[in-house]
Amino acid sequence: MSTTTLKKHSTWRNWAGNVTALPARTTSPTTVEEVREAVRRAAAEGLRVKAVGTGHSFTAAAATDGVLLRPQRLCGVLEIDRRAGTVTVGAGTTLKALNVALAQEGLSLTNMGDIMEQTVSGAISTGTHGTGRDSASLAAQVRAFDLVTADGRVLHCSEQGTEEERTAYAAARVGLGALGVLTTLTLAVEPVFLLTAREEPMPFDRVLTEFDRFVAENEHFEFYWFPHTGNCNTKRNNRSAGPAAPPGAVSGWIEDELLSNGVFQAACTVGQFLPATIPTIARVASRALSARTYTDIPYKVFTSPRRVRFVEMEYALPRTAAVEALRELKAMIERTGLRISFPVEVRTAPADDIALSTASGRDTAYIAVHQYRGTPYQAYFTAAERIFTAHGGRPHWGKVHTRDAEYLAGVYPRFQEFTALRDRLDPDRVFGNDYLRRVLGE
């Protein structure tokens, strides 16, 4: 009998605090066999199972009234294969722990998102991504994974497996937790390299006019637009021969802690209670940032501390639609009189071959809108979502949206491939919940 059950009837909350759940019990397995036991026991009792990492999804993708499985004790680097250029890790390993461990071995992921508090399995399952001209999401860097299915089997999924395992690998790298519980993952890595980051304030109209050029000329391009202003902050990351030149202690603290977290937190709080001040605050904040250049190993350039809590919606649009959608978003905010304290984030990704990846089959631009936690966001997100869906947008699986299976089947050409696999692997919906019922159908 497993000894991993932690507690019963304890409320779970996600990072943003906008989703809660009251599971029948919570369990934290230490071995794959204990995962199998937890799944088999739940299925026998008629309970559903959801694995949840650090709760960085803004949707109820991991919420359950059944068994909440915490994978954090399935962690650590299990194997490094330098010849194959891969690392195998436990599913509950955080991205931060993985990156630190890789750096100690002189290795690195090719690309990643801008935070690293998530578990590897959670980030991959929801399609977490950074920005890249040629390099894609974390899921696109997965080379193999082990999946505990609803009947307690373990599938060793890769391009070299059985037909069933190859099919699962092709579809389940962005699996939403709908197909089983990930226990180990193997990711592609490469020798550690240096990135030079160039951050530069720039007018909104110039960024949009030259957007295609910026994407084409830089390995990683992204920008933030401050609503109620014509100001953006751009970031261009490119590989460098070095030497390493991290941000100075004082300048780095000012940009990353004081302006991005400390002062920004205070400004959001003021704006929450005095919305009329938000446009003025936005103008001041967007002018406070200055150009800077620094060089460091990848995860220290890709990621930034994020201590101001928020709620987020992000849509993946065909990259050719991004500029028009951003102009429509700006016009909507000006027309409606909404007061938006958070910058709009824009990133890109190349097309990939994963069934439910937001970049599946098409070059993609991501537009993310945010609101400070506790601030009403529905009117803003609803208006933004109308713009994004008019351009065939695909919502990030872990961020707020209102789309359902009917809509999603129309924007994902391989949607039926995924749901057919789900029907085979989990016909009784052991891994189901209300969110999956909405986005994948019954």
Q: Which comes out higher in pLDDT, residue 275 or 427?
A: 427
Q: What is the spatial distance between Cα 68 and Cα 8, in angstroms, rounded to a whole number?
A: 10
Two tokens, residue 107: 């290795």
Q: What is the pLDDT of residues 23-46, one digit of tens each?
A: 999 999 999 999 999 999 999 999
Longest Cα separation, the chain: 63
Gap between the Cα atoms of 184 and 195, Å rounded: 29
DSSP structural state of residue 263: I
CATH assignment at residue 164? 3.30.465.10
- What is the residue type of 89? V
Give the pLDDT score at 304. 84
- The last residue of a domain, from among 191, 211, 237: 191
Query: For residue 44, what are its two tokens?
Result: 């026998």
Q: Comparing 15-29, 58-72, 255-269, which segment has the lowest mean pLDDT?
A: 255-269
Do 187 and 198 share a structural domain? no
- CA–CA separation, 266 and 172 (whole Å): 41
The verdict on residue 437 lying in a domain is no
Does 283 score more than 50 pLDDT? yes
Q: What would the mean pLDDT of 372-392 be, rounded to a whole number?
A: 95
| Per-state percent for the chain, helix, strand, coil, to nearest 5 | 35, 25, 40
CATH number of domain containing 38: 3.30.43.10
Lowest mean pLDDT among 191-205, 245-259, 400-414: 245-259
- Choosing from 45, 69, 93, the residue where a domain stops is 69
Q: CATH number of the domain that 391 lies in?
A: 3.40.462.10
pLDDT at 440 over 70: yes
Co-location of 198 and 345 in the same domain: yes
Q: What is the CA radius of gyration of the chain?
A: 21
Residue 282's identity, in one-letter code, is A
- Which residue in the block uniquely carries the two structure tokens 């599913």? 91
Amino acid in the structure at residue 80:
I
Contact indicator for 54, 94 with CB cutoff of 8 Å = yes
Residue 292 CA to residue 225 CA, distance in Å, equals 18
pLDDT at 296: 96
Residues 224 and 170 in one domain: no
Residues 109 and 175 in one domain: yes
* 337 assigned to some structural domain: yes
The verdict on 225 and 290 lying in the same domain is: yes
CB 73 within 8 A of CB 186: no
Same domain, yes or no: 136 and 245:
no
Angle, CA 16 vertex, CA 380 and CA 257 arms, to 5°: 95
Q: Is residue 410 part of a domain?
A: no
For residue 406, being part of any structural domain is answered with no
Name the average pLDDT for the chain. Answer: 92
User: pLDDT by residue (tens digit) across 341-379?
Assistant: 889 999 999 999 999 999 999 999 999 999 988 889 999
Six-digit token string for 320? 């050719």
Tell me if 344 is assigned to some domain: yes
pLDDT at residue 131 in the model:
98
Q: 392 and 376 in one domain?
A: yes
Provide the pLDDT for residue 236: 98
Asked if residue 83 and residue 36 are part of one domain, the reply reads: no
Percentage, residues of the chain above pLDDT 70: 93
- d(CA 184, CA 171) in angstroms, rounded, equals 17
Co-location of 156 and 285 in the same domain: no
pLDDT score for 404: 98
Same domain, 97 and 200: no
Are residue 199 and residue 186 in the same domain, yes or no? no
Structure tokens at 225: 């637009």
Cis preceding-peptide flag for 343 (omega within 30 of 0): no
Structural domain contains residue 364: yes
Which stretch of DSSP H or E encloses residue 234?
A: strand 231-240
pLDDT of 284:
79
Q: Are 431 and 179 in contact (CB under 8 A)?
A: yes
Residue 413 in domain = no
Q: Is residue 440 part of a domain?
A: no
ω into residue 243 within 30 of 0, thus cis?
A: yes
pLDDT at 258: 42
Rounded to an integer, the average pLDDT of 433-442 is: 96
Long-range contacts: 207-213, Cβ < 8 Å, 24+? Answer: 207/232, 207/234, 208/323, 208/326, 208/327, 211/322, 211/323
**Domain housing 19:** 5-69
d(Cα 23, Cα 50) in Å, to the nearest integer? 10
Q: What size, in residues, is the chain? A: 442
CA–chain centroid gap for 92, Å, is: 16
CB 156 within 8 A of CB 93: no
Are 115 and 398 in contact by the 8 Å Cβ rule? The answer is no
pLDDT of amino acid 256 = 57
Number of domains in the chain: 3
Say if residue 261's pLDDT is above 90: no
For the residues 130-159, what does the mean pLDDT come to?
97
Beta bridge partners of 294: 197
Q: How far apart are CA 101 and CA 106, in angstroms?
A: 9
Q: Mark which of 69, 99, 118 sits at the end of a domain.
A: 69
Same domain, 148 and 283: no
